[in-house]
Amino acid sequence: MSDSFVLAGRGLVGGVAEGEALVTREAISGWGGVEPRKGRVIESRHELVGQSFAGKVLVFKGAKGSSGWSGMFHMSRLMGSAPAAMVFTTMNTKIALGVVVTHVPAITDLDGDPFELIHTGDWVCVDADRGLLTVTPQGGNGAGSSSRRGQAQGSMVDSDAAAQGRALAEELER
Amino acid sequence: MRLADDERAMLDGEQGEAVAAAMDLLVRYGEVLGAERLVDTDNVCGANLFGSRHSLVCGSPTPDGAFSEHSLDAPRELVIPPVKAQSHQLIGPMDTKHWRVQGLPQDEHDEIMASEQYNAEHGIHLLNTCTPYQVGNVPLKGEHCAWMESSAVVYVNSVLGARTNVEGRESTGAAMLTGKIPYWGLHLEENRRGSHLVEVTTPVVTNRDWGLLGYWIGEQVPEEAIPVVDGIERTPDLVRLKHFGAAAASSGGVEMYHVPGITAEARTREEAFAGRAPVEHLRYGPAQRSEAYEHLTATASDTSVDLVMIGCPHATLGQVRDVVRLLEGRRVHPDSELWVFTPRALRHIAEQNGYARALEDAGALLMSDTCPAIGQFLPKGTRVIATDSAKQVHYLPAIMNVHGWFGTLEECVDAAVTGTWRGERP
């Protein structure tokens, strides 16, 4: 199993959730870019077109396009196809309202570049109460994964990433 | 977030549970944004017309239940009082006159009409358009607003100098009940200055030119950018800036721009940037225009056009008149449809002016309250659409799985009359 590592950021909507990462550097269009029944991206020229974020940890730049963004993700929650958690890098009103009404753990302002450090298929635990993200790379070769560390507090652990996350949280609180 | 006394009282339930839920939503939202406080607003545009799509999923198919869930993100059904702020309904799912053309069943029609009645009874003005600034809601420079509809937000921020972020259904629902919205982003003077310089080196004159320019800029600049469009030689009009802003807010997230000498907060390029240097300097010439066209028409190949859509954002009376004139002595092809969308109030005038009748006589249809993308409807069997709107051709292929052409109004009407796309690449 690959080594896990931890990133710290600002938790926005509380709670803890984990799942497989779905990563895109692109912003996502909500209304007109997402189909809420299955949680699929439908924007014609988006790199995730056809893929579903349902139950996944969606790692993305943020929200763009129509003001229906929050309404569409709100709908995806009511239809059971919301992401398990959201990790994003660019704040605006669409994404802020979107994460609030989707009711899933959300984090931003991470201390490492999530697009460099997290890959689609990695297992990610989002602890938004503490603002911590624990990433277990999929298929990494263990020794090599030290290069995927976060900058500041992203210390590597060999096992039990959640415990490491708790320890880091305590450290940050001191 | 710091709450004023009246806001604290609302949160504590002094004005009832629904107002408390609305304030709770605003607090949760404001804290995610990192807003320091709320600001008063008496100008809200939201979207609270619900049909079965919305009522079925919230397990409480009453109007109060739908509003509580979809418009307030409240934990349960609450009794919704009349709105406090001046509030307006934006574009919705149904043309109240031509709903049968949309293929809506009677019960869906009845549910949406009941929802409309509920909105009216709560004091929400039924503008039913994506362009409230055409029909009686023209905010002043500096006025704090809480508007949804990205094309309208970019218009009132830029052209009029009003102040609003792109709000959503839940935040506008909450603003209607409280008269408050987070004081963040474009409400603050310092966030309204230009960031990116776009130097236009090719003539930008027609609606199509402005649509292409907007679409290209939206793709190029980051969502938070405020582009300054310099080098415009011919003063545009409402329609051109309506198309421009809608395009830039569709391909990207542009919520405000400046055109020195034309828009509200930029008499000059210097004023647009407030003395700061642009973070990026972009050039828009013929190659960039071609690139925008390629991207916009990426889905198009078959030239048999099933539907021509005009009026995204909703057409002005002038645009409706232009379609009527282009159709003079001609008829829409039997294998095509031509639909023109305008605000409800303007359809009323268009009827009195004889435009609606003229369109129908030529086999076209004047519609209002909705559009094919919002209402998710097309003529049966539609595979290819054509439109003069960069925004509509961006969204409709994705939402309705069709192919889309983009061109001038003349090319679009020609396609409706001949059933064939013969538009030229710009």
The pLDDT of residue A142 is above 80? no
**In the predicted model, is pLDDT for residue B15 greater than 70?**
yes
Q: Considering chain B, what is the average pLDDT of its residues?
A: 96
Per residue in A27-85, pLDDT (tens digit) is 998 888 899 999 999 887 899 999 999 999 999 999 988 899 999 999 999 999 999 99
Spatial separation of the C-alpha atoms in residues B370 and B109, rounded to whole Å? 13
Q: Distance between CA atoms of B245 and B262, rounded to whole angstroms?
A: 14
ipTM of the complex in this document = 0.92
Residue A164 has pLDDT above 50, yes or no: no
- Please check whether residue A82 touches B, CB under 8 A: no
Which B-chain residues 244-283 have CB contacts (< 8 A) with chain A? 249-250, 252-253
Cα–Cα distance list, A4 to A24, A88, A112, A134 (Å): 20, 20, 14, 7
CB proximity B188 to A under 8 Å: no
State yes or no: pLDDT of A141 exceeds 50.
Answer: no
Residue B423 belongs to some domain of the structure: no
Identify the residue with better confidence: A4 or B299. Answer: A4
Q: Does B165 touch chain A (CB under 8 A)?
A: yes
> Which residues form the domain of B286?
193-296
A169: pLDDT strictly greater than 70: no
Give the distance from residue B210's alpha carbon to the nearest chain A alpha carbon, in angstroms: 18
Q: In this structure, are B291 and B351 located in the same domain?
A: no
- Are B90 and B132 in contact by the 8 Å Cβ rule? The answer is yes
pLDDT in tens, B150-160: 999 999 999 99
Residue B173 lies inside a defined structural domain of this protein: yes
The CA distance from B330 to B327, in Å, is 5
pLDDT above 50 for A143: no
Q: Does residue A173 surpass a pLDDT of 70?
A: no
Answer yes or no: do B15 and B156 share one domain.
yes
Within a domain: B302: no
Half-sphere CA count of B206, side-chain side, radius 13 A: 13
Interface contact B32-A13, CB threshold 8 A: yes
Whether residues B179 and B206 share a domain: the answer is: no
Q: In this complex, do A96 and B32 lie within 8 Å of one another by their Cβ atoms?
A: yes
Which CATH code of 3.40.50.720, 3.90.550.10, 3.50.30.10, 3.40.30.10 fits the domain covering A4-173?
A: 3.50.30.10
My answer on whether B40 and B167 are in the same domain is: yes
B230 and B124 inside one domain: no
**pLDDT tens across B237-286, in order?**
999 999 999 999 988 889 999 999 999 999 999 999 999 999 999 999 99
**Mean pLDDT on A127-142:** 84
Confidence label for B58 from pLDDT (cuts 50, 70 and 90): confident
Q: Who's near B325: CB < 8 A, 6+ residues apart?
A: none
B182 in any annotated domain? yes
Domain count, chain B: 3
Picking from B133, B165, B189, the residue at the C-terminal end of a domain is B189
Does residue B330 sit in the same domain as residue B387?
yes
Contact criterion met (CB < 8 Å) for B184 and A93: yes
Same domain? For B269 and B184 the reply is: no
| CATH assignment at residue B326 | 3.30.499.10
What is the Cα–Cα distance from A47 to B301, expressed in whole angstroms?
22
Domain-located, residue B301 = no
B198: in domain: yes
Residues B223 and B326 in one domain: no
Do B29 and A96 lie within an 8 Å CB cutoff? yes
| Mean pLDDT in residue range A131-137 | 97
Q: Quick check: is B105 in a domain?
A: yes
Tell me the CATH number at B120. 3.30.499
Mind listing the pLDDT tens digit for each residue in B387-401? 999 999 998 988 899
Place of tokens 């949280």: A169
pLDDT tops 90 at residue A163: no
Interface membership of B153 toward A (CB under 8 Å): yes
C-alpha–C-alpha distance, residues B81 and B258, integer Å: 39
- pTM of this structure: 0.91
Residue A39, token pair as written in the block:
């949680």
| pLDDT above 90 coverage of chain A, percent | 69
Q: Do B242 and B342 fall within a single domain? A: no
User: Does B347 have pLDDT greater than 60?
Assistant: yes
